[in-house]
Structure 1
Amino acid sequence: MGKYKKRGKPSQSEDGEVRAKKHLGQHFLTDESVAEQIADTLSYKGYNKVLEIGPGMGVLTKYLLKQDAEVHVIEIDTESVAYLQEHYPQLEDRIHQFDFLKYDVGTTFRDEAFAIIGNFPYNISTQIVFKVLELKHQIPEFSGMFQKEVAERICGKEGNKTYGILSVLVQAFFEAEYLFTVPPSVFNPPPKVESGVLRLIRKEDFSLPCDEKLFFRVVKTAFQQRRKTLRNSLKTFDLPDNLREDPIFDKRPEQLGYQEFIDLTLKIQPYAVSNQ
């Protein structure tokens, strides 16, 4: 189950194209050169399988299919799935009609490595990144298009106003690079904001020397009150006074790089792991 089975013609517009659905956050990319640039952001090294999220009418898919890789697509929209089935028969049974956020990738990729790419729906793009972090042991590369503000946040560096939870958590495991900006005019319908394309390459050693769950908890708790010093924002950890006198607690979260958050977690770990 899960593979698409043809159910007849979808209700498309007069020119045969799929209508964008606002509730799915669909903005179809129409610029072929941008699609080709996005497809080229992956190195296709160290893996031979690629999963495209939200292919729509396949403008990016066609360029992925030119690469030496086994391309899979995952799409929740029935109309788009039918369109892809009709126009990209070479995908065969590699069209998966599912919500990626609820999808068990093991049913398709087992424990094999695969890259993820896409023109990601704005309304779930952050959740997609969090799922990629959960699957990091299988995903050596990840690239695609986000709302520009989100892409900048993921790639932001400490001291920058865009720097936050996503920046720290992603950069602890991946090298993050903001590649280029895309204007609204290359989409149908055009979004109200600019888009940004980024690439994440998993670090050679992506294991943490600290407790990973605690690391996530420390980062998220710290940024919930980002204007406060860590001494105040991490009060819920109920840390001993002698630890809270450490100079690192005088800093605000946006002043710490991911490595400093790892160091902070190591300091907290003897007192906090049992309280998770």
Structure 2
Amino acid sequence: MSVKAKKHLGQHFLKDENIAKKIADTLSLKGYDDVLEIGPGMGVLTKYLLEKSITTHVIEIDTESVEYLKTNYLNLAPRIYEQDFLNYDLNTVFRGKSFAIIGNFPYNISSQIVFKTLEMRDQIPEFSGMFQKEVAQRICSKEGNKVYGILSVLTQAFYNADYLFTVPPSVFNPPPKVDSGVLLLTRKDNYTLPCDEKLFFRVVKTSFQQRRKTLRNSLKTFNLSDNLKANAIFGQRPEQLSVSQFIELTTLIEKDEN
């Protein structure tokens, strides 16, 4: 029995064992005892995780894949969750414990997977996975780069992001139309921000909604004082600011509002 890839779920099954093993080996396995694989499909990556000194859990929305895994990975069966990762409360499984995330992520929800990880950053010290190449590059890119954006800044505020390697379409069934990229996120030692975190998210998202404008124009909805808008930082465009400058910008706005 094999599982048929479903277009509406964005499934592209990895068929290259070497790449599967290479992805499994990206995790350091330090600081946690559990790993959650998202979208395991037929378990090509799962089997290499099961060889490691860690407890593997998998979450899969596709009923056919779940049946396949339960039949072929009997020991894993109690830790197979037939759920939608984006809408599932992971603490029903992990109950506040730390865990890593790994996976060959469906392209259509990969950014949302990252955003949910950021929400749970207290529990996720490490995150490794395969994305559409340009999304992986965007997450890891630095200021001054045209692909640098919301995903880059918000992720790198809390994690060190490393682009590891590129994967060609030919190693998937069916092959996607684009290259894939594997990245590793390692949570920073200090992952709390020295500013209001909700405001930081809002400032970053609002700035990039009009990325070609200067911050003076893109942040008009914040009703900033003329005195603050005279600061040189407001003459820059969002893609020119590093993560630490966005933190500095948020602190300035915070003080201006009070």
1:34 aligns with 19
2:99 aligns with 114
Three-state SS of the structure 1 residue aligned to 2:102 is strand
TM-superposed CA distance for 1:262, in Å, is: 0.2
Q: Which among 206, 228, 240 is matched to residue 255 of structure 1?
A: 240
Q: Which among 164, 184, 202 is matched to residue 169 of structure 2?
A: 184
1:231 aligns with 216
TM-superposed CA distance for 1:266, in Å, is: 0.0
Alignment pair present for 1:243 and 2:228: yes
Alignment pair present for 1:162 and 2:147: yes
Structure 1, unaligned runs of 5 or more = 1-15
Alignment deviations for residues 137-175 of structure 1 (CA, whole Å, 9 cap, x no partner): 000000010000100000000001110000000000000
Q: Which among 198, 201, 206 is matched to residue 216 of structure 1?
A: 201
Give 1:234's aligned amino acid: L
Alpha-carbon distance in structure 2 between the residues aligned to 1:271 and 1:115: 39
Three-state SS of the structure 1 residue aligned to 2:47 is helix
2:254 aligns with 269
TM-score, reference length from structure 2:
0.99
Alignment pair present for 1:204 and 2:195: no
TM-superposed CA distance for 1:272, in Å, is: 4.1
TM-superposed CA distance for 1:120, in Å, is: 0.2
Alpha-carbon distance in structure 2 between the residues aligned to 1:33 and 1:88: 20
Aligned residue pairs, count: 258
Three-state SS of the structure 2 residue aligned to 1:239 is coil
Superposed, 1:23-172 pairs within 5 Å as: 23-172=8-157
Alpha-carbon distance in structure 2 between the residues aligned to 1:162 and 1:177: 15
Percentage identity across paired residues of the two chains? 71
Alignment deviations for residues 177-215 of structure 1 (CA, whole Å, 9 cap, x no partner): 000000000000000000000000000000001000100
TM-score, reference length from structure 1:
0.93
Three-state SS of the structure 1 residue aligned to 2:78 is coil
Q: Runs of 4 or more off by more than 3 Å in structure 1?
A: none
Structure 2 contact 127–184 (Cα < 8 Å) conserved: yes
Give 1:61's aligned amino acid: T
Give 1:143's aligned amino acid: S
Alpha-carbon distance in structure 2 between the residues aligned to 1:50 and 1:271: 43
Q: Which among 163, 171, 175 is matched to residue 160 of structure 2?
A: 175
Structure 2 contact 20–45 (Cα < 8 Å) conserved: yes
Q: Superposition RMSD on alpha carbons, in Å? A: 0.7
